[in-house]
Amino acid sequence: MSEYTVINSRAVRVDTPDKATGKAVFIDDMTMPGMLYGALLQSPLAHARIVSIDTSKARNLPGVKSVVTAAEAGLVKYGVSPARYDETLFCHEKVRYVGDDIAAVAAVDMETALKAVSLIDVVYEELPAVFTIEEAMKAGAPVLHDNYPGNICAEVHSEFGNVEEALADCDLIKTTTFQNKRQDAAFIEPQGCIASYDLSGNLTLYSSTQVPHYVQRTVAMVLKLPVGKVRVIKPYVGAGFGIKASANPLELSACLLSMKTGKPVKMNYNREQVFQYGRARHQFTHTMTTGVKKDGTIMALKHLCYLDGGAYSSFGIATVYYAGSLLGGPYKLPNMKYDGYRIYNNKPACGAMRGHGGVAARACWEQQLDMIAEELKISPIELRLKNMMVAGDVTCNDLNMSSLGMKECIEAVKDGSEWTAKKGKLPKGKGIGMACGFFVSGAGYPIYRSDTFHGTVIVKLTEDGGTALVYTASAEIGQGSDTTFAMIAAEALGIRLEDVRLESGDTDFGVDLGAYSSRQTLMTGHAVKEAAEDARRQVLEVLAKELNVPVENMDIKNSLIEFKQENVDFTGLRTRYSKEHRGWNDNPADGPLTFREASRMAYLSKGSIVGTGKYKPPELGGKYKGATVGTSPAYGCSAQIAEVTVDEETGQITVDRITDAHDCGLAINVTSVEGQMEGSVSMGLGEALFEEVKFDNKGHVINADLAEYKIPTMLDMPQIKTIIVESNEPNGPFGAKEVGEGAIMPTIPAILNAVYDAIGVRIHELPMTPERVYLAIQEAKKGKTS
Amino acid sequence: MLLPKFDFHEPKTLNEACQILAAYGVKAKLIAGGTDLMVNMKKKILSPEQVISISRIGELKKLDTSGDSIRIGSCFTVADLSTSDAIQKHLSALGEGAKNLGTPLIRNLATIGGNLGSARPAADLPPALMAYGAQVVLNSLSGERTLSLDKFFMGPGFTAAKPDEILSEIQIPSLPPHSGAGYINIGVRKGQDCNLVNVASFIALDTDGTIRNARIVMGCVGPIPLRASSAEKMLIGQKPESALFSRAGAAASLDSTPIDDFRGTAAYKRDMVGVLTRRTLDIAFREATHRQ
Amino acid sequence: MKKLIQLTINDQHYEVAVEPNQTLVDLLRYQLGLTGTKKGCEMGDCGSCTVILDGKAVNSCLVLALQADGRSIQTIEGLETGEGLHPVQEAFVEKGAIQCGFCSSGMILSAKNLLDQKSNPSETEIRRALAGNLCRCTGYQKIIEAVKSVPQAN
For A432-488, write each residue's pLDDT tens digit. Answer: 999 999 999 999 999 999 999 999 999 999 998 789 999 999 999 999 999 999 999
Multiple choice CATH, A16-22+452-615, 3.40.1260.10, 3.30.365.10, 3.30.70.20, 3.90.920.10:
3.30.365.10
d(CA A665, CA A740) in angstroms, rounded, equals 13
Cβ of B109 within 8 Å of Cβ of C132? The answer is no
The DSSP letter of residue A347 is: S
B172 three-class SS:
strand
Distance of CA C133 to the CA centre of its chain: 10
B65 and B162 share a domain? Answer: yes
For chain C, the structural domain boundaries read: 3-76, 87-149
Fold match between domain C3-76 and domain C87-149: no
State the pLDDT at residue A783: 86
- Which residues of chain A lie closer than 8 angstroms to C104, CB-CB? 19-20
Residue-level pLDDT at A627: 86
Among candidates B31, B104, B192 on the partner chain, residue whose Cβ is nearest the Cβ of C129: B104
Answer yes or no: do B113 and B165 share one domain.
yes
Residue B16 neighbours by CB under 8 Å, 6+ apart: none
Cβ <8 Å between A13 and C93: yes
Q: How many CB atoms lie within 10 A of CB A589?
A: 7
Interface contact flag, B275 A110, Cβ < 8 Å: no
Contact map slice: A 617-676 vs C, CB within 8 A: 671-672, 674-675
Min Cα separation A37/chain B (Å): 13
Residue A786 has pLDDT above 70, yes or no: no
Instruction: Among C99, C127, C139, select the one facing A478 at the smallest CB separation.
Output: C99
Quick: pLDDT tens for A645-703: 999 999 999 999 999 999 999 999 999 999 999 999 999 999 999 999 999 999 999 99
Is residue B131 scored above 70 in pLDDT?
yes
Share the mean pLDDT of chain C. Answer: 97
What's the pLDDT tens digit per position in A631-654?
A: 999 999 999 999 999 999 999 999
Lowest mean pLDDT among A367-381, A448-462, A585-599: A585-599
Does residue A285 surpass a pLDDT of 70? yes
Distance CA A82, CA B282 (A): 64
> Would you state the pLDDT for residue A119?
98
A474 contacts A240 by C-beta, under 8 angstroms: no
Do B90 and B114 lie in a common domain? yes
Q: Which chains touch A (3 or more CB pairs under 8 A)?
A: B, C
Cβ separation of B189 and A713 shorter than 8 Å? Answer: yes
* Residue C154 pLDDT grade (very low, low, confident, very high; cuts 50, 70, 90): low
Which pLDDT belongs to residue A1? 56
> Is residue B1 in a domain?
no
Domain chopping of chain A, boundaries: 16-22+452-615, 31-127+189-238+244-277, 353-442+630-785
Q: Give the structural domain span for B90.
A: 58-173
Position C119 scores a pLDDT of 92
- Report the distance separating Cα A644 and Cα A453, nearest Å: 46
Last residue of some domain: B22, B38, B53?
B53
Q: What is the mean pLDDT of chain A?
A: 96
CA distance A605 to A383: 63
Query: Cβ of B6 and C20 within 8 Å?
Result: yes
Looking at residue A785, its pLDDT comes to: 63
Residue B282 confidence (pLDDT)? 98
Average pLDDT over residues A249-263: 98
* C interface residues, B as partner, C-beta within 8 Å: 3, 19-23, 42-45, 47, 50, 53, 56-59, 61-64, 66-67, 69, 110, 128-133
Report residue A625's pLDDT band, with 50, 70 and 90 as the boundaries. confident
Q: Could C57 and B104 be called an inter-chain contact, meaning their C-beta atoms sit closer than 8 Å?
A: yes
**Strands (E) located in A226-272:** 230-233, 265-268
How far is Cα A41 from Cα A721, in angstroms, rounded to an integer? Answer: 47
Residue contact A770–B262, C-beta within 8 A: no
Kindly report the number of other CB atoms within 10 A of residue A250's CB atom.
Answer: 25
Do the beta carbons of residue A734 and residue A667 sit within 8 Å? no
Arithmetic mean of pLDDT over chain B: 97
- Read off the CATH number of the domain in which B30 is found: 3.30.43.10
The answer, yes or no, to whether residue A173 has pLDDT greater than 80, is: yes
pLDDT (mean) for C117-141: 97
User: Is C133–B105 a contact, with Cβ atoms under 8 angstroms apart?
Assistant: yes
User: How far apart are the CA of C153 and the nearest CA of chain A, in angstroms?
Assistant: 22
The Cα of C10 is separated from the nearest Cα of chain B by a number of Å equal to 19
Q: Which residues contact A568 (CB under 8 A, 6 or more apart)?
A: A547, A549
Q: From A693, which residue of chain B is nearest by alpha-carbon distance?
A: B262
Percentage of chain A surpassing pLDDT 70? 99
CATH fold group of domain C3-76: Ubiquitin-like (UB roll) (3.10.20)
**Residues 4 through 33 of chain B touching chain C, CB cutoff 8 Å:** 4-8, 10, 31, 33
Q: Are residues B70 and B156 in the same domain?
A: yes
Q: What is the mean pLDDT of residues B124-142?
A: 98
Give the residue from chain C lying closest to B1, CA to CA: C42
Record: contact A683-C136, CB cut-off 8 A: yes
Tell if the CB–CB gap between A706 and C101 is shorter than 8 Å.
Answer: no
Q: CA gyration radius for chain C?
A: 15
Closest residue, chain B, to A715 (C-alpha): B191
Q: Establish whether domains A16-22+452-615 and A31-127+189-238+244-277 are of one fold.
A: no
pLDDT band at C153; cut points 50, 70, 90 = low
The answer to whether the CB atoms of B34 and C67 lie below 8 A apart is: yes
- Contacting subunits of C (3+ beta carbon pairs below 8 A): A, B
Residue B178 dihedral angles phi and psi, to the nearest 5°:
55, 45
Tell me how far apart the alpha carbons of residues A515 and A499 are, in angstroms, rounded to a whole number. 25
Domain of residue B189, CATH code: 3.30.390.50
Nearest CA in chain C to B39: C43
Q: H/E element holding B227?
A: strand B226-227
Name the pLDDT band for B215 (thresholds 50, 70, 90).
very high
Would you call A190 an interface residue with chain C, using a CB distance cutoff of 8 Å?
Answer: yes
Number of other residues whose CB lies within 10 A of the CB of residue A391: 16
Q: Residues of B with CB below 8 A from A117's CB?
A: none
Domain A353-442+630-785 has CATH 3.40.190.10: no
| Chain A residues near residue C45 by CB distance under 8 angstroms | 271, 705-707
Q: Are residues B103 and B188 in the same domain?
A: no
Q: Is there a domain that residue B24 lies in?
A: yes
Give the domain C87-149 fold: DNA polymerase; domain 1 (1.10.150)
Domains: count for chain B: 3
Q: Give B291's pLDDT tier (boundaries 50, 70, 90).
A: confident
Which chain A residues contact residue C93 at CB under 8 A? 12-13, 16-17, 20
Give CA–CA dist B153/A520, Å, rounded. Answer: 57
Chain C interface includes A775 (CB < 8 A): no
Please report the pLDDT score of residue B292 as a whole number: 58
CB contact (8 A) between residue C47 and residue B1: no
- Neighbouring CB atoms inside 10 A of A702's CB total 15
- Percentage of residues of chain A with pLDDT beyond 90: 95
Provide, as residue numbers in chain B, all residues whose Cβ is less than 8 Å from the Cβ of A650.
186, 272, 275
Fold observed for domain A31-127+189-238+244-277:
Aldehyde Oxidoreductase; domain 3 (3.90.1170)
Of B2, B188, B196, nearest to A111 by CB-CB distance is: B2
Residue A588, pLDDT above cutoff 90? no
> Within this chain, do residues B86 and B168 fall inside the same structural domain, yes or no?
yes
CA A313/CA A309 separation, integer angstroms:
7
Whether A51 and chain C come into contact, CB under 8 Å, resolves to no
pLDDT tens by residue, C10-51: 999 999 999 999 999 999 999 999 999 999 999 999 999 999
pLDDT at residue A2 above 90?
no
CA distance A416 to chain C (A): 17
- pLDDT score for A784: 75
Q: Which of A704, A747, A732, A779 is nearest to A274 (CA)?
A: A704
**ipTM beyond 0.90?**
yes
